[in-house]
């Protein structure tokens, strides 16, 4: 039997809260001997490929901007086109779902999403040079919190006067985000592991920039000691419930009895939907625009 779940990330949390079956296939079955039935597929929905590609190109843009290399609109478009086509082949070379993606539409949608992001007020301050002291980070760095390993680094960090600002971007947000402020506040845990940053919550401002219903929105949070404590409790509760699910999964050895999402749209993009016990029952919902 494998060790208990001890890692937390925003992605893990979203998958867990949306569909227990998908969470178990993605994060639990890799730790035990299973048949190929539940092995993680390379397939990603074309929509997800567009989101992944747009994020990757944005960080290429950030890296060059940090080195004072300015992109034109044509550069943005060509880089995004290359990235989407490359990722479509990477994730869909076997074409297990029989989907023929509309590449032009994906490129057009990704380009529009990226261009509007670059016009977002905070991002525009970076590109205009109004913010001079800043850095960007990948979310691969782990922070040790008690017995947990937490992936909570910000995407962008900048300083104005004596105030530090931590920014997280979400290239496709969910309509319901009941714990958004606490999820954003996890970035404070990352800051406490950085020797160059202050150890006081009052020295920070936290931002969430997220895409929803065709628009980019910005949420600003002023953290407090109480909020940080509630954030730590959220992490503990999340991992506890993940381990409750893990125990149930190992007892029953039947992944198809686990709770499923109620959202057809979430199912539509799921890489594990082919073997889902309710896939056939939801075909009409999947085919809705």
Tell me how far apart the alpha carbons of residues 199 and 191 are, in angstroms, rounded to a whole number. Answer: 8
Check whether 287 has a pLDDT greater than 80: no
Residue with tokens 């979310």: 139
Neighbours of 1 (CB within 10 A): 8
pLDDT in tens, 44-91: 889 999 999 999 999 999 999 999 999 999 999 999 999 999 999 888
pLDDT in tens, 151-166: 999 999 999 988 999 9
Check whether 103 has a pLDDT greater than 80: yes
CA nearest neighbour of 273 among 257, 248, 256, 289: 256
Lowest mean pLDDT among 34-38, 77-81, 193-197, 223-227: 34-38
pLDDT in tens, 202-246: 899 999 999 999 999 999 999 999 999 999 999 999 999 999 999
Check whether 33 has a pLDDT greater than 50: no
Percent of the chain past pLDDT 70, that is, above it, reads 88
pTM of the model: 0.88
Top mean pLDDT of 36-45, 97-106, 232-241, 268-277 is at 232-241
> Over the chain, what is the mean pLDDT?
86
Tell me how far apart the alpha carbons of residues 110 and 103 are, in angstroms, rounded to a whole number. Answer: 10
Helices (H), the chain: 10-18, 20-27, 46-66, 73-92, 103-118, 121-128, 180-185, 187-192, 225-252, 264-268, 283-286
Higher pLDDT, 19 or 138: 19
Q: Check residue 29 and give its pLDDT.
A: 77
Lowest mean pLDDT among 119-123, 171-175, 188-192, 213-217: 171-175
For the chain, which domains are there?
133-235 (3.40.1350)
Lowest mean pLDDT among 110-114, 190-194, 239-243: 190-194
Instruction: State the helix-helix crossing angle for 10-18 and 20-27, rounded to 10 degrees.
Output: 130
Name the pLDDT band for 99 (thresholds 50, 70, 90).
low
Q: Tokens in use for 184? A: 């954003």
């Amino acid at each position: 039997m494998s060790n208990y779940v001890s890692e937390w990330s925003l992605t893990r949390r979203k998958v867990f809260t949306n569909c227990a079956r998908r969470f178990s296939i993605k994060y639990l079955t890799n730790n035990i001997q299973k048949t190929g039935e539940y092995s993680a597929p390379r397939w990603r929905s074309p929509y997800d490929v567009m989101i992944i590609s747009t994020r990757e190109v944005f960080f290429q843009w950030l890296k060059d901007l940090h080195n004072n290399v300015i992109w034109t609109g044509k550069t943005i478009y060509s880089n995004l086109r290359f990235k989407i086509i490359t990722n479509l082949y990477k994730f869909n070379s076997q074409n297990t779902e029989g989907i023929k993606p509309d590449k032009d539409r994906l490129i057009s949608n990704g380009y529009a999403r990226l261009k509007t992001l670059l016009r977002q007020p905070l991002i525009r301050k970076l590109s205009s040079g109004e913010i001079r002291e800043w850095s960007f980070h990948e979310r691969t760095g782990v922070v040790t919190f008690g017995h947990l390993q937490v992936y909570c680094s910000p995407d962008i960090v900048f300083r104005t006067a004596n105030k530090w600002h931590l920014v997280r971007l979400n290239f496709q947000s969910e309509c319901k985000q009941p714990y958004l402020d606490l999820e954003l506040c996890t970035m404070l845990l990352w800051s406490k592991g950085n020797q160059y940053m202050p150890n006081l919550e009052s020295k920070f401002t936290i931002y969430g920039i997220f895409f929803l219903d065709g628009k980019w929105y910005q949420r600003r949070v002023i953290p407090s000691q109480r909020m940080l404590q509630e954030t730590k409790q959220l992490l503990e509760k999340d991992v506890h419930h993940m381990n409750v699910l893990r125990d149930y999964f190992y007892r029953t050895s039947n992944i198809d009895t686990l709770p499923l999402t109620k959202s057809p749209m979430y199912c539509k993009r799921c890489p594990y939907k082919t073997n889902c016990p309710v896939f056939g029952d939801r075909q009409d919902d999947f085919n809705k625009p």
